Amino acid sequence: MKKPLDPAVQEKLNRIPDALDGVPNTVPGSLSSAFNFKGRKSPGIAEKVLETVCGPEDVLLEPFLGGGSFLLAALGKVKAVYASELDNYTFFAVKTLFTRLNRAKLKRLFQAVKEDCEADIQALYETRCCGQVNYIDKILFDPARGKDGYFHPRENRELREGRNVKLQKRCPVCGRKAKAFDQGDWDRLKQLETLDVSRFPTVRYLVNSRINITASTGADRYDRIFTHRNKAALLLLQDAILRLEPCLERDALELSLTAALSLARVAMYGSSTDILYHVVLEKAQDMNVWTLFEKKYRCLLLFKKNYASRQLQPGGPEAVLANQDYGDFLDQQPGFQADVVYTDFPYTDQVAYLERSQLFRIWLQQFYDPGFRLTQEMLDRELVQTNADARPGKHSLTDYYQDLDRMFSHLDRAVRPKGLVFFTMKLGRAKYFKTYLEIVNLARKNGFEYASLTGLAKRDPTLRKQSAFTNTLTNEMLVVFWKLPEDQRYWYIGQENYEFLLVKQVYQYLRQAGDAQVTVSAAAELVRQDLQKRCETPVPETDLQRVLSLLHQNFRVYKGMIEIDSNRLYLDIEDSDDLYTKLYDLTPIYIRRLLTQKGRFVLDDIYFQLVHALCDGNPRTITQILEDERHQRDIEALISNYCVLRDGYYVERTGQRRPNPQAVDVSTLDGTEFELLIKELLIRKGYENVVRIGGAGDLGVDLVAVRREGGQRLHCLFQCKRWIAGVGSTPVQRLFAEQFRRNFDYAACITTAGYTPDGKKVAADLKIDVFDGIYLMQELDRYFPGEYYNRLC
């Protein structure tokens, strides 16, 4: 059973959607360009969230510092930020970017480098256009075709009329900034091949085919993706930087050099760091190293100018940054308690940062500081699933889940009760969805509970292919967990959620009992015996009281008797068809909730609402249900009854079915709302002493009432089913059994939908009246004209 959210926490989280309205999901150009980092998230969104939920005395923890987006968002918004980063290259980049430097000194050192090596580097890129000296900014060519690949490259959107050499300045004769590669350029290339570049790194990378580091293509060789000219240029630039005095400002220039490496390689036209290690055979680009370096330097200056108030310095924003594993970092902070954790969830093998950053780290290790080497300890500590051959302990989901368990265990010790943990997540294929459900279970094991989810994408790019559920969960999400107080934590014994095991064994016990009544004490004794067997010790009184509490929470308990709650989903216990029927009936409730809260939603939102309503026990069950294509179609067809697509979102369908804007759709009411509506209807129809008893102890009865008929008082039972699917025989049989037990005169079932053939037959045999959604609307229109409608009728 999902733990109820603390009202104060709920109030904070309720403000987030409004706070994010209109905030673009973008990364500032000066941050994204300052150094290379895959998968940065929007600091603007994080800043708005933190402004909404944090107070000035709050402490924030960022256990996976990464590209610094959330550090940027948090500085100045909270009292202090504690952050750690395992990857030494990334930490170097972020620390350099966020530490206040002497700007005058930085500019002076840049000028020294410029005077030292710019002319020599530019000479490597000298060319002629119309007989005039110029310099190459970029060459477009096809490497696999040798000389012909320079003279006759494949056309692309940047290559026009064969002009594949982009110039740094316009030709004073023809006025163009592009020319065709010519024999003089070829002769210059051949001449440059005599330059000594033996110092250029030739080491081999860790192989990871998911990010194109493959031995078969030669992409595992460091020098494989650089031209001879660019190797020479990079060495000249590095030597000039190393001739400077060691200082923070020199670090900043080194950061700009390493950031330039991603495009100083032979890159695919329109390339990005997504294909950092790809061996490009055609439609390639080779860029001027000095131009790249100077651009990165300008980006660094712009970042420091734009975010001068968030630079770390004495008297500035308080931050503790550490280049180490997050667990070790937290272990070294005795008594530390964070109010908020805000981080990017580390869970995809496409973002194995230690492997992805090899290009930059190896360069730094060889030329700047041997301390940048990649250690086995770093490889063991990174929280990731990866297919790298050198990392067998990171291949399986089982290994990955153990790492997640460790992460939540550390967060449990580091976050104060009722504290919030924000994870940005982007889900894709089926295994990631299953992993998400496992994340929820591991969070619960370690004292956390799911609190809320907010979609961060502007549009749902998957609406064109909604027929495949496994392809729909691709939007970026902000998922929030909250730290449960000690007395509300889930009951785990070892690695198992005993609350789920308790429910499962009692459920099976009640099913085996059939129609025979079972006492609460008998069910509790069953659990006590199981506990004693598992723990091999007498069960303490506190555990026995916990058992009784869980029985009341998960079953119908009335006058000492216990039975299965027909309105509850028993995941991984019930037949999957029964589960899906119940799940399907919940969908309209979530449609109304999303429309009320957001005014619009995407398909992901519905699935996540369902998942979090059902996420108990084994996540495989709900995944299997939702991945069934029949169920996908059913849910989408159901949504279309209530909504239409507009600008990529589902919005409420308007039409003649709704009598007025204030009318309420009875098919979207939750169970309690529907019972209260039927109670008012019965009162209007003249029933007396109408009492709602729906809930934990109703045993199939929602309302009891008295009806006068021919001078007699008839005692009546009513069962209310706010369902979408047809009501079958089981609820009708349950109602009849309760009528017989109470010795009432009359019993009826009222639903918003209809009845299955079997349900109708059993009702006729047992003389139970059944009223469907059409009859219900006739009665509501009679007694509450214009106030209600039923979208499904």
Cα distance between residue 392 and residue 195, in whole Å: 41
Whole-number pLDDT of residue 288: 97
For β-strands 80-84 and 319-322, DSSP reports them as parallel
Cα distance between residue 376 and residue 390, in whole Å: 10
Given a contact cutoff of 8 angstroms between Cβ atoms, the answer to whether 66 and 344 are in contact is yes
Sheet hosting strand 561-563, strand order edge to edge: 518-519, 561-563, 556-558
Nearest in space to 370 (alpha carbons), one of 379, 358, 361, 360: 361
**What pTM, to 2 d.p., does this model score?**
0.79
Cα distance between residue 555 and residue 576, in whole Å: 19
* CA dihedral of 481, 484, 488, 492, whole degrees rounded to 10: 70
The helix or strand, by DSSP H or E, that contains position 367, with its residue range, turns out to be: helix 358-367
Whole-number pLDDT of residue 235: 98
Q: Supply 235's token pair.
A: 């060495």
Whole-number pLDDT of residue 271: 63
Whole-number pLDDT of residue 429: 47
The ranges of the chain with pLDDT < 70 are 1, 271-274, 348-350, 427-434, 457-475, 515, 566-583, 608, 610-628, 655-657, 694-700
Whole-number pLDDT of residue 655: 67
CB neighbour list of residue 367: distance below 8 Å, 6 or more residues apart? 238, 242
Strand partners, 221: 204
pLDDT tens-place string over residues 57-68: 999 999 999 999
Whole-number pLDDT of residue 597: 78
Given a contact cutoff of 8 angstroms between Cβ atoms, the answer to whether 236 and 192 are in contact is no
- What's the half-sphere exposure (Cβ side, CA atoms, 13 Å) at 423? 23
Whole-number pLDDT of residue 566: 61
Measured in whole angstroms, the distance separating CA 21 from the mean position of its chain's CA atoms is 19
Q: Which amino acid is at 20?
A: L
Strand partners, 163: 160
